Amino acid sequence: DAQQSEKDAMEESIEIVLEKLLHVTKDVVAKISNEANRCINVLLAKYDPFRCLAVVVPLLVSDDEKMLVVCINCLTKLVAHLPQEELMDQLPTFLPALFDAFSNQSPDVRKSVVFCLVDIYIMLGKAFVPYLEGLSSTQLRLVTIYANRISQARSGTAIDSANQ
């Protein structure tokens, strides 16, 4: 089947393709950067999340704000594809960079960090709390408030409702 062999060919070079696409998202032509983002979303959904993480995680230390936002958004999508145990194992590979990005001067970068941390928090629940000790009290409050709001909206229960 031709489609399968195309997918296999793509599979072999997924890291190269993803990295190139990430750079194309910065194109000044909106149509091109939007297409690149669409392609990235397909890749992240269809290919091995660990191989995608291997490309995205090193780019989380970028000085380029646009690149950071795109990579953090990729990370948010990738963590959703990981089982809880795998996600716990991966945390040390990207949390330090994510926490650094939380202090970025760009509000867009900070906002994407919040949503990424919130998604991880919702997936892992209480088990994630000790990892959040690297945040300032303000950052922690922000993540907790959003996580509870979103969790409540999705499932009807807040993450920390068990404590109250």
Confirm whether 164 is domain-assigned.
Answer: no
Can you give the CATH number for the domain in which 59 is found?
A: 1.25.10.10
The whole-angstrom separation of Cα 147 and Cα 129 is 12
Other C-beta atoms lying within 10 Å of the C-beta of residue 143: 22
pLDDT digits (tens, 9 = 90+) for 46-97: 999 999 999 999 999 988 999 999 999 999 999 999 999 999 999 999 999 9
**Per-residue pLDDT at 163:** 43
Q: How many domains does the chain have?
A: 1
Q: Is residue 132 part of a domain?
A: yes
Is 121 domain-assigned?
yes
pLDDT score, position 161 = 57
Average pLDDT of the chain to the nearest whole number = 91
Question: Which domain, by its residues, includes 43?
Answer: 2-158
